Structure 1
């Protein structure tokens, strides 16, 4: 896990880094004076939290946020806003920011937000790993097994699947057993959940 602080204000960067480094976070902390400096290091593949200032010369926080969210990164972004930036901070929430904290922020406020952001990033990372596993498992199925799987997920009965595919009910049962074995699931609900994960449509269930 990583905590990245992106702010052109030297004092804010240094004080925030000091505060977080003396807290109980099990994460590496790095600071950047600009969004350009952060993106130059190709860190979007990491998991963790970014404390991102809204107003910076060059690429501002809103532009940086959009670039981060477009990358499908597991890094969770918390916007740092000045008093006059609250409307803009609310706008960034709609653009994918996890939360925002207003300057000057208290030690308690920033540590609580970072804690929540790291937990969110960890959950996203776990979901991504589950999705990768699901896709890999489904790829191991034969073309016919995938056809049967698609119809099972739709909730069709074995005899209906047999009719639609022009095969016997017994053959459907054999395919179903093999599919469940290859996917390492024990029930139809588990099978459906795995398929939804593979399609990226099961975020709520994956988090449970």
Structure 2
């Protein structure tokens, strides 16, 4: 997939109607939103390599297309582990399917014909969600790297902290002095960028690898 500006994620327009696709791209471009158009779900899927770190983006996906339908395209995206918002474009008769898709993980849907301002507002909202997910993904990676870099002793102290033990109890459990526990605790907090045991527990729950 082509490189994108991380502060202005691409909007991928996937629709087999050339006039509609080009008109929608023109509308989004006129509002400062970078776009890339695809004439089929197959074409968009071919641009993705499994396992790639796909750039932050938003997908506008027509629910009915010749060949691979929008719903089938969405299912394949999910199977690939697609992380970014998918917004379905649907006709009146397909609203039920679009609602089901949202319940199955799509971000939202818009019914044709739609007001230009409403569509742009929805895309902007989806873009903000994508940017927040991107920031969260970066913080998760940074936290996991810092966690992996802890020394064996720091990891022991960390495990004790997560069990709610105080410094004196940790010292007794590990056979070290309380001053040494305080030293390791300060290093852990600095490396993991937390200010308290409560914040540490929260970040561990949010960013650390789940137990095997």
- TM-score, length of structure 2 as denominator length: 0.84
In 2, Cα distance between the equivalents of 1:144 and 1:59?
Answer: 54
**What is the root-mean-square deviation of aligned Cα atoms in Å?**
2.1
Task: Give unmatched runs, 5+ long, in structure 1.
Answer: 202-208
Aligned length: 199
- Give the one of 43, 46, 62 matched to 1:37: 43
Answering whether residue 142 of structure 2 is matched by residue 136 of structure 1, we say: no
3-state secondary structure, aligned to 1:75: coil
Paired residue for 1:3?
11
In 1, Cα distance between the equivalents of 2:24 and 2:110?
Answer: 12
In 1, Cα distance between the equivalents of 2:124 and 2:209?
Answer: 26
Aligned pairs for 1:95-174 (under 5 A) are: 95-174=104-183
Answering whether residue 31 of structure 2 is matched by residue 23 of structure 1, we say: yes
Answering whether residue 93 of structure 2 is matched by residue 84 of structure 1, we say: yes
Paired residue for 2:194?
185
Shift of 1:105: 1.4
3-state secondary structure, aligned to 1:146: helix
Shift of 1:144: 2.3
In 2, Cα distance between the equivalents of 1:104 and 1:51?
Answer: 14
Structure 1 residue runs of 4+, over 4 Å off?
A: none
Paired residue for 1:75?
84
CA-to-partner distance for each residue in 1:69-88, whole Å, 9 max, x for gaps? 34444421101111111111
3-state secondary structure, aligned to 1:31: strand
CA-to-partner distance for each residue in 1:61-119, whole Å, 9 max, x for gaps? 22222332344444211011111111110111112111100011110121111010100
| Contact 1:162–1:172 (Cα < 8 Å) also in 2 | yes
3-state secondary structure, aligned to 2:85: strand
3-state secondary structure, aligned to 1:119: helix
3-state secondary structure, aligned to 1:19: helix
Paired residue for 2:66?
57
- TM-score, length of structure 1 as denominator length: 0.86
Paired residue for 1:204?
none
